[in-house]
Structure 1
Amino acid sequence: MANNSEAIEVLNDLILINNDRVAGYEKAYEETTDSDIRALFNNLANHSRQHVSELNAEVNKLGGEPASGTMLSGKLYRVWMDVRAAFSKDDRKTTLESSEFGEDAAQKAYESALKSEDLTPGLRELILKQKAALRAGHDTVKRLRDAQSVLH
């Protein structure tokens, strides 16, 4: 049986990165005027809200207290602060580059979580599913960024 406290810690880290992702994309949504990017950012934030909901349910099942807020420390999560700052510029390419950087951080967080030996097969499956969804978002951002690079 997996160690519940360790599994809860792993899940709470993922809750925090998803909360950071929501906050970053909400800020990006507010700061950009490009309707296609606004729609994408809204969609990506909604994906993370769904992930948080699923992760909260699992933490509750394990008898833990789901994390709330965003992570303000830790090298892996700190990148969202840079992402948020970059969104204050009205530059499509910079916004997409910063978003891709944040997506890379989310991928690293999920890769790190999957290294835990304290996950049940069901939790591992959930994390893999969420990681794949995040990867799809990353790839969409990357395609838009690459297309923007060609235009400049």
Structure 2
Amino acid sequence: MNLPEPISDAADKAKDFYGDAADKVKDLYDEAASKSKDLLDKTPNTLKEASDKAVGAFKNLTTTQKVVGGALLAAGLALLIAPKKKGKAKRAKKALDTLLLYVNDRIEGYKRAVAETKDAQLKSYYQKLVGQSQQFSGTLNEYLTKKGGKRETGTTLKGKLYRKLMDAQAVVTDRDEKAILAANVHGEMWAIRAYKQALRRKALKGEIRDAVEKQFDQSKQTYERLKQLASQQK
């Protein structure tokens, strides 16, 4: 059936118009998509957009590119984490080094007590505490060297001054057992404070913290025992 010429012409024009419109819509869509991509490249993405974009890009990579990219990502994360770990290691070393100065003071204090006491039982007890302190020092130094530090064999300045004061007193007066015990009680109190300070450091973790806590408990027991012995002296 042939349509009248006016109707046929109108139909052809409508078809052409529709085709042109469809082509323009496609062109506009392509242009918008292209501009959107350019804009996304220049502005910060949201987390979801960044994730979608990264996943799409990753799928288009070759196996070799994925391997290399993964290695670079791991290296980048390591660099980000390294400074934090380095800072913690430094703080752990500092805490151990400071604590060791007091533990080494403890060694010297009980060595002095061994030399000064005239009581056989107390001498044996002080010798035991010297050995215990040396064991403490050895353990802490082992952890210190694992953290990249150097073995600490020094003592605190106030410990040195205190021992000098005891030397001066010994020249003037004969130090009895009660005075020796009092000095040891005072020294153990310093050690307890040092352990408390060390345990406040969050950088001390895991087996290092466990070791310090164990030594701290033993130091507190020694402190109580020394006070008991001092109270028994006339």
Q: For 1:33-44, what aligned pairs fall within 5 Å after superposition? A: 33-44=118-129
Cα–Cα, structure 1 residues 27 and 14, in superposed 2: closer, same or farther, change >3 Å? same
Question: Unpaired segments of 5 or more residues in structure 1?
Answer: none
Q: 1:25 to 1:105 in 2, by over 3 A?
A: same
Q: Which runs of 5+ in 2 are unaligned?
A: 1-84
Q: Which has the larger radius of gyration?
A: 2
Q: Deviations over 1:82-101 (max 9, x none)?
A: 78448834311111111101
Q: Give the distance between the partners of 1:106 and 1:137, measured in 2 at CA.
A: 11
Quick one: percent identity of the two aligned structures?
Answer: 29
Decide whether the 8 Å contact of 1:11 with 1:59 is kept in 2. yes
Q: Quote the offset at 1:112 in angstroms.
A: 0.6
Q: For residue 99 of structure 2, what is the aligned residue in structure 1? A: 14
Shift of 1:44: 0.8
Match of 1:81 among 158, 163, 173: 163
Under a length normalisation based on structure 1, what TM-score does the superposition of the two structures give? Answer: 0.86
CA RMSD for the aligned pairs? 2.1
Q: For 1:65, what is the secondary structure of its paired residue?
A: coil
Tell me which amino acid in the other structure corresponds to 2:195: Y
Relative contact order higher in (CA < 8 Å, ≥ 6 apart) = 1
Which residues in structure 2 correspond to 1:3-152 (within 5 Å)? 3-73=88-158, 77=159, 80-81=162-163, 84-85=166-167, 88=170, 89-148=174-233, 152=234
How many pairs are equivalent? Answer: 146
Runs (4 or more) in structure 1 with deviation over 4 Å come to 77-80
- Describe the superposition over 1:94-144 as per-residue Cα deviations: whole angstroms up to 9, x where unpaired: 111111011111000000111112111222111100011111211211110
TM-score (norm 2): 0.57
Report Cα offsets for 1:16-42 as digits up to 9, x if no partner.
111111111111111111111111111
- In structure 2, relative to structure 1, the CA distance for the partners of 1:80 and 1:34 (3 Å cut) is same
